[in-house]
């Protein structure tokens, strides 16, 4: 497939309905719940190795099918999954009423936050499947990245990754070097510099491989030289600087107030310029790329305010509600999470209808709001699933393989395999059934690496 055809093939669409995207993402919590029902009824004491195999059967392969060959009936499929899950829960609850046994609700003592591990694995699983599946015709074009305005599944990949990173950052967990008014810059470099340099190095490596091998690239995603690894590394650096400024300016008590200002001010200024006139919008969407580094990589650079806002909001929420040392009661945590999610959905609806339509390329407030709304909605569902499964016993072995996906190393392996498959296979001319065989093999390989890497 030549470069021009590939660019149009993987990105030239106007998106799909929000309901179908929500249905697909909601399928994963339902699949985890069904897996938990299976463990409860048939296999309560499997080893981790067998649990990983069950994850592959109950979660990874069904998600692959829902994203490809079953994408046209994804809503109907999720309704069927919901019916199965409801029947399983009813059957187990009836058994509990007969035996009178009930497990203690001890999930607050679980410092692992299983639902957060599932969430991180969910985002990377969908991303890893999408980056290769999009090259095959079995993957619906409406799920590929939008060209200008609209909503699609692949548009949310970067948002999921950035938000999950913020939810489990060192600052969110109270482990950062920002522990007092005297900020230790050397300690910060030791804590954050190594990982940031590694991700930045991956960005340079990917850029070199793409240019050297002549691999197809879609410059409308991030730009001519920019890529998501550069975005992630830059977001980490900018947000670390924001923490330094907040702590030094106002101290710990008002730190979150300053962080909120720093999170929303840049994207508000960008949105104001986008609405002030059409010149900036036209520049981002259709200007030529010759003349400067900024013009060549404008999508990647101008998306930084949106991604920084998502990262900081996720960090502040996680520090306030998910990683608190005093262990607030689970019902309060659920209430706060649901309330915040409803507020963000309202913000997105207002911005999308009255400010500017959602656009990944413009990285406007609607795009940032939608990313947060989707992520927090799935987090709510996963928390509810964990709460339910914990009432039936130890849930740490459920979704263990899915949680293994949550690593940059797995994402890197998925990128390498994607490039390899594209060099060996004419993806656009591959029949759908053959494409599914390739995708199952690819998913199995990435999954096996993810499980091995987590055990390492």
Q: Are the C-beta atoms of 34 and 58 separated by less than 8 Å? A: yes
Residue 274 CA: distances (Å) to CA of 270, 278, 279 = 6, 7, 8
Which position has the token pair 């309901």? 19
108 token code pair: 């607050």
pLDDT of res. 108: 45
Q: What is the pLDDT of residue 143?
A: 86
CA 385 to chain centroid, in Å, comes to: 18
Where do we find the tokens 């407030």?
365
Res 110: pLDDT: 45
* Model pLDDT, residue 302: 93
What local confidence, expressed as pLDDT, does residue 179 receive? 45
How many angstroms separate the CA atoms of 81 and 326, rounded? Answer: 37
Residue by residue, pLDDT tens for the chain (456 residues) are: 455 455 555 555 666 789 999 999 999 999 999 988 888 877 555 666 677 788 888 889 999 999 999 999 999 999 999 999 999 888 888 776 555 555 544 444 445 678 888 898 888 889 999 999 998 999 988 888 888 898 988 889 889 989 999 998 888 888 765 444 444 545 555 555 667 777 888 888 888 877 776 666 777 888 888 888 899 999 998 998 898 888 888 777 788 888 999 999 999 999 999 988 788 888 988 888 887 889 888 999 999 999 999 999 999 988 888 876 555 555 666 777 888 899 999 999 999 999 999 999 999 999 999 999 999 999 989 988 988 888 877 666 677 666 666 677 888 888 889 888 888 888 888 899 999 999 999 999 998 888 888 776
Query: Read out DSSP for 179-190?
Result: -SSS--HHHHII
pTM recorded for the entire structure: 0.88
Q: Which of 303, 172, 182, 176 is nearest to 251 (CA)?
A: 182
- Tokens representing residue 436 in the block: 């599914």
- Write out the DSSP string of 86-104: HHHHHHHHHHHHHH-----
Given its phi and psi angles, is residue 100 left (phi above 0), alpha (psi -120 to 50 degrees) or beta?
left
| Token pair of 149 as six digits | 């305005």
Residue with tokens 């060549």: 296
Looking at residue 222, its pLDDT comes to 87
User: What token pair was written down for 42?
Assistant: 């048939």
- pLDDT attached to residue 363: 92
Through-space distance between the first and last CA atoms of the chain, rounded to whole angstroms: 38
């Amino acid at each position: 497939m030549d470069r021009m055809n590939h660019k149009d093939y993987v990105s030239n669409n106007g998106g799909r309905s929000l309901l179908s995207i929500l249905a697909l993402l909601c399928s994963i919590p339902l699949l985890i719940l069904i897996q938990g029902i299976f463990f409860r009824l048939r296999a309560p004491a499997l080893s981790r190795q067998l649990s990983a195999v069950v994850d592959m059967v109950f979660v990874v392969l069904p998600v692959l099918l829902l994203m490809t060959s079953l994408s046209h009936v994804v809503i109907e499929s999720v309704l069927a999954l919901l019916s199965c899950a409801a029947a399983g829960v009813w059957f187990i609850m009836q058994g509990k009423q007969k035996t009178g046994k009930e497990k203690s609700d001890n999930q607050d003592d679980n410092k692992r936050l299983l639902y957060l591990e599932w969430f991180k694995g969910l985002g990377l699983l969908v991303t890893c499947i999408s980056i290769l599946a999009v090259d095959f015709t079995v993957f619906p074009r409406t799920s590929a990245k939008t060209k200008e305005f609209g909503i699609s599944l692949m548009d949310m990949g970067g948002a999921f990754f950035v938000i999950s990173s913020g939810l489990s950052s060192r600052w969110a967990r109270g482990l950062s070097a920002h522990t007092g008014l005297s900020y230790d810059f050397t300690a910060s470099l030791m804590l954050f510099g190594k990982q940031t340099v590694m991700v930045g190095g991956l960005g340079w490596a990917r850029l070199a491989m793409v240019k050297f091998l002549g691999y197809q690239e879609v410059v409308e995603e991030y730009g001519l030289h920019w890529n998501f690894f550069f975005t992630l590394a830059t977001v980490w650096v900018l947000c670390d600087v924001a923490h330094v400024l907040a702590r030094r300016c106002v101290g710990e008590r008002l730190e979150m107030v300053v962080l909120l200002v720093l999170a929303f001010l840049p994207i508000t200024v960008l949105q104001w310029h986008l609405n002030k006139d059409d010149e900036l919008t036209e520049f981002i969407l259709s200007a030529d790329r010759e003349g400067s580094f900024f013009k060549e990589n404008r999508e990647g650079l101008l998306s930084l305010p949106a991604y920084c806002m998502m990262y900081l909001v996720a960090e502040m929420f996680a520090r306030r509600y998910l990683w608190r040392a005093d262990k607030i009661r689970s019902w309060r945590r659920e209430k706060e999470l649901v309330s915040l999610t409803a507020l963000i959905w309202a913000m997105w609806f207002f911005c999308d209808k009255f400010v500017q339509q959602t656009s990944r390329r413009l990285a406007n407030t609607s795009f940032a709001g939608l990313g947060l709304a989707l992520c927090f909605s799935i987090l709510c569902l996963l928390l509810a699933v964990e709460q339910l499964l914990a009432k039936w016993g130890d849930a740490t072995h459920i979704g263990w393989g899915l949680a293994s996906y949550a690593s940059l190393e797995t994402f890197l392996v998925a990128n390498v395999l994607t490039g390899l498959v594209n060099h060996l296979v004419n993806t656009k001319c591959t029949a759908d059934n053959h494409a599914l065989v390739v995708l199952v093999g690819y998913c199995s390989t990435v999954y096996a690496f993810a499980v091995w890497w987590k055990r390492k």
